[in-house]
């Protein structure tokens, strides 16, 4: 079962934001979406998560139309981490992560245990009782990451689970970028389908099983990073002359500019 | 600021409210001792006992309905304030932002000017005309604000805030216009009404207000987790399985009902809906599962205290309650803001 976009087009206020986009997120796989600014990456995420209705085409989650799922069941299967957070109320980190348990009825004790584990996983256990409003940008984003992890912490009986991340590493230092990608791989190993927008091609190449390159609302290329990332494509899409080398240890493509 | 335990605050407020209410029974133009008030309360429950007729009238026909109305209006204003602040994700929002207070005051002024004679005679008819005008005005303004902010893709909270400000300004202008055409008596009534007054409490008003308060306090807790999720943002709340549009509509209708009826029965009692939830949030944090009930209790206490003071500060006359809530609330609020500023 999958999270699938079929032939999606999106017109908003006279602009073609997406044109005939098809892609799918498989459970147990990591899909990375890359592309220049304004290419339609975030629009695609918003259509994939049901926030925007596509002008044409269908989005299906585990074989059913995304919007036909009851909201609570959908929330048990699909967790979404936005790029920015509006939260400006002094919740503690524990309380923010606890919000991720709203769609589930697992009881207060189990929820508290999951919240503590999720915070530990993102290296934020020291923030437990601190106020969200007093945290740094990177700390806030880690707490939000823990929140969406808590939302899909336990497997769901209804269907496969998916995690959608919009530039999850943007606010992070090197160590926490690495940590995020490790967490993403662990989730995939557990059977969760992950789709994320990334700007760093090397991070994307290292972490993703499937790379989708976006340009001007169209999919310019998609497939395994080794096949997709070519010097010609990077020139064509980003207008940057680059060399592709191989990482000496992982043998993944390495974009050198 | 360090938080206090939610349960502790809730328990303290639950104990404090009846104590303050009982104490308030003793306060007024005629002083009645706590022992007498307590004795009368016991006597009223136990059949067959006799107490002095005048004391009984003062306690049970004048003071008790007034105190109960204060409790109910305070609880409704403060809990709707907490809910609106959550819904608008703005700790300084207030039920008046959705236009309900402005609309209600126009409705009431209109009735005072149109039905001037009937109101002046102090007849029940006249008073209920003002109340009905306030309620209809408040509801209509809320509906208008809500409609302005709702498009095909849902209700925009930002547009709603702006629409509320616009409707508030329009209501202010209409009010001034009505005041301009009103004669002296009407003018006095309009301004007295706008100051908020609980002195006309009756058992009929208490039962209407009690019904509304009951509806609100039963419905609000069901949406408290949704409100917590909404603080993250609307799309985040949707991704957490909250039917945002329905929750919003439900909470706005309940707030318009609660505030509309409060304003209709007690006039414009300001500050309770703004200050109380804010103070309670500073004490226990923004979790609506505790914030809403604690705000309701604290609002009830504030209004009972303010109303007790209103009865005695200018003996033998009385002050309108709304003046007292603002006089008590504003300095407290400023002190809290100053303390918060020092700590950041």
Closest C-alpha among A101, A103, A93 to residue A142: A93
The answer to whether B71 and B304 are in contact (CB under 8 A) is: yes
pLDDT interval class at B7 (50, 70, 90): very high
Q: What are phi and psi of A165, to 5 degrees?
A: -125, 125
- Stated pTM of the model: 0.88
Q: Per DSSP, which regions of B152-244 are E strands? A: 154-155
Q: Which of B86, B80, B127, B337 is nearest to A99 (CA)?
A: B86
Structure tokens at A32: 């990375």
Q: Which of B238, B240, B281 sits opposite A99 (nearest CB)?
A: B240
Nearest to A143 by CA among A194, A97, A95: A97
What pLDDT is stored for residue B125 in this prediction? 53
Nearest beta carbon to residue A95 from set B238, B241, B287: B287
- Give the mean pLDDT of chain B: 83
Report d(CA B64, CA B62) in Å as an integer.
6
pLDDT of amino acid B116: 64
Residue entry with tokens 């103070």:
B279
Tens of pLDDT, residue by residue over B27-77, are 877 777 777 777 776 776 666 555 556 777 777 778 889 999 999 999 999
What is the tens place of the pLDDT at every residue in B237-271?
999 999 998 998 899 889 888 988 888 888 888 88
Q: Which of A49, A79, A86 sits opposite B89 (nearest CB)?
A: A86
Tokens 């919740």 -> residue: A91
Check B91 against A89: CB less than 8 A apart: yes
Q: Which of B131, B9, B17, B22 is nearest to B71 (CA)?
A: B17
The torsion angles phi and psi of A61, rounded to 5 degrees, stand at -120, 120
Q: How confident is the model at residue B305 (pLDDT cuts 50, 70, 90)?
A: very high
Question: What distance, in Å, lies between the first and last C-alpha atoms of chain B?
Answer: 9
User: Do residues A255 and A241 make contact, with C-beta atoms less than 8 angstroms apart?
Assistant: no
* Per-residue DSSP letter, A4: E
User: Given this model, what pLDDT does residue B48 score?
Assistant: 56
Does the pLDDT value for residue B314 go beyond 60? yes
Check residue B225 and give its pLDDT. Answer: 93
According to the model, what pLDDT value does residue B311 have?
86
Ranges under pLDDT 50 in chain A: none
The residues, any chain, with a CB within 8 Å of residue B337's CB and separated by 6 or more, are: none
B242 and A71: CB-CB below 8 Å?
yes
In Å, how far are A91, A135, B45, B218 from A127, measured between CA atoms?
Answer: 11, 8, 54, 35
CA distances from B56 to B51, B63, B325 (A): 7, 10, 28
**3-class SS letters over A54-99:** CCEEEEEECCEEHHHCCHHHHHHHEEEECCCCCCCCCCEHHHHHHH
Judged by CB atoms closer than 8 Å, whether chains meet at A74 and B91 is answered as no
For residues B137 and B145, the answer to whether their CB atoms sit within 8 Å is no
pLDDT of residue A112: 94
Nearest to B236 among A71, A74, A82 (CB): A82
Task: Check B285 against A91: CB less than 8 A apart.
Answer: yes
* Helix and strand totals (H; E) in chain A: 9, 12
Task: Tally the residues of chain A.
Answer: 257
Contact B162, B97 (CB under 8 A): no
Chain B, 3 to 22: residues with Cβ < 8 Å from chain A are none
Query: A75, B285: Cβ pair inside 8 Å?
Result: no
In this predicted model, what pLDDT tens digit does every residue of B117-154 receive, in sequence order? 555 555 455 557 777 888 888 888 888 888 888 776 66
| Strand ranges, E, within chain B | 150-151, 154-155
Residue B297 has pLDDT above 90, yes or no: yes
Other CB atoms within a 10 A radius of the CB of residue A12 amount to 11
What pLDDT does residue A29 have? 94
Give the pLDDT confidence score for residue B179 in this predicted structure. Answer: 85
**Alpha carbons B145 and A161: distance in angstroms, whole number:** 39
User: Chain A within 8 Å of B238 (Cβ-Cβ)?
Assistant: yes
Radius of gyration of chain B (CA): 20
Query: Which pLDDT belongs to residue B294?
Result: 96
Return the closest-CA partner of residue B175 out of B133, B231, B217, B225. B133
Predicted local distance difference test score (pLDDT) of residue B277: 92
Work out the pLDDT band at B89, boundaries 50, 70, 90: confident
pLDDT of residue B148: 86
Task: Tell me the nearest-neighbour CA distance from B339 into chain A, angstroms.
Answer: 16
d(CA A116, CA B144): 45
Q: How close does chain A come to B201, measured CA to CA in Å?
A: 38
Q: Find chain A residues with C-beta within 8 A of B228's C-beta.
A: 95, 99, 102
Q: Which residues of A touch B236 (CB under 8 A)?
A: 80, 82, 85-86
Is the model's pLDDT at B98 over the cut of 70? Answer: yes
Q: Which of B23, B78, B41 is nearest to B303 (CA)?
A: B78
Question: Which pLDDT belongs to residue B292?
Answer: 96
Instruction: Name the band, by pLDDT with cuts 50, 70 and 90, for residue B343.
Output: low
pLDDT tens digits, B154-204: 667 778 888 888 888 898 899 889 888 888 888 887 887 778 878 777 888
């Amino acid at each position: 079962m999958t999270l699938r976009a079929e032939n999606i087009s999106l017109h908003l206020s006279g602009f073609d934001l997406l044109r005939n986009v098809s892609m799918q997120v498989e459970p147990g796989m990591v899909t990375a979406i890359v592309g220049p600014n304004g290419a339609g990456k975030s629009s695609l995420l918003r259509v994939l998560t049901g926030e925007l209705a596509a002008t044409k085409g269908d989005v299906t989650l585990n074989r059913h139309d995304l919007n036909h799922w009851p909201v609570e069941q959908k929330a048990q299967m699909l967790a979404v981490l936005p790029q920015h957070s509006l939260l400006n109320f002094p919740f503690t980190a524990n309380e923010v992560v606890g919000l991720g348990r709203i769609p589930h009825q697992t009881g207060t004790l189990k929820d508290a245990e999951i919240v503590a584990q999720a915070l530990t996983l993102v290296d934020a256990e020291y923030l437990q009782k601190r106020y969200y409003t007093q945290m740094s940008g990177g700390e806030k984003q880690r707490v939000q990451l823990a929140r969406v992890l808590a939302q899909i912490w336990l497997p769901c009986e209804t269907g496969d689970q998916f995690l959608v991340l919009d530039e999850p590493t943007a606010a992070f230092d090197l160590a926490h970028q690495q940590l995020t990608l490790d967490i993403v791989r662990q989730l995939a190993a557990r059977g969760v389908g992950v789709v994320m927008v990334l700007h760093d091609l090397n991070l994307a190449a290292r972490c993703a099983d499937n790379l989708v390159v976006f340009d001007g609302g169209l999919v310019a290329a998609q497939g395994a990073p080794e096949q997709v990332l070519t010097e010609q494509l990077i020139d064509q899409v980003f207008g940057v002359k680059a060399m592709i080398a191989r990482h000496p240890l992982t043998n993944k493509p390495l974009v050198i500019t | 600021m360090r938080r206090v335990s939610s349960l502790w605050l809730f328990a303290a407020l639950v104990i404090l409210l009846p104590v303050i209410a009982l104490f308030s029974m003793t306060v007024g133009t005629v002083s009645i001792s706590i022992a007498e008030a307590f004795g009368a309360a016991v006597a009223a429950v136990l059949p067959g006992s006799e107490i002095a007729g005048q004391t009984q009238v003062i306690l049970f026909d004048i003071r008790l309905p007034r105190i109960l109305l204060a409790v109910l209006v305070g609880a409704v204003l403060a809990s709707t304030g907490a809910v609106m602040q959550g819904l608008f994700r703005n700790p300084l929002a207030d039920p008046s932002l959705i236009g309900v207070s402005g609309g209600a005051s126009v409705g009431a002024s209109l009735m005072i000017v149109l039905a001037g004679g009937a109101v002046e005679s102090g007849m029940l008819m006249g008073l209920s005309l003002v109340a009905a005008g306030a309620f209809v005005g408040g509801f209509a303004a809320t509906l208008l604000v809500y409609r302005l902010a709702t498009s095909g893709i849902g209700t925009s909270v930002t547009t709603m805030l702006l629409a509320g400000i616009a409707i508030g300004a329009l209501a202010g202008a209409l009010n001034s216009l009505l005041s301009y055409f009103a004669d002296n008596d009407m003018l006095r009534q309009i301004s007295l009404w706008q100051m908020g007054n609980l002195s006309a409490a009756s058992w009929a008003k208490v039962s209407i207000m009690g019904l509304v308060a009951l509806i609100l306090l039963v419905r609000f807790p069901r949406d408290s987790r949704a409100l917590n999720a909404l603080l993250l943002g609307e799309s985040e709340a949707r991704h957490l399985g909250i039917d945002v549009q329905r929750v919003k509509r439900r909470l706005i209708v309940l707030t318009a009902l609660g505030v509309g009826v409060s304003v209709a029965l007690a006039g414009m009692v300001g500050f309770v809906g703004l200050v109380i939830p804010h103070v309670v949030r500073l004490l226990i944090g923004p979790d609506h599962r505790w914030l809403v009930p604690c705000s309701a209790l604290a609002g009830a206490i504030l209004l009972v205290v303010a109303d007790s003071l209103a009865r005695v500060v200018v003996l033998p006359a009385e002050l309108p309650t709304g003046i007292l809530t603002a006089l008590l609330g504003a300095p407290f609020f400023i002190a809290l803001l100053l303390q918060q500023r020092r700590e950041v």
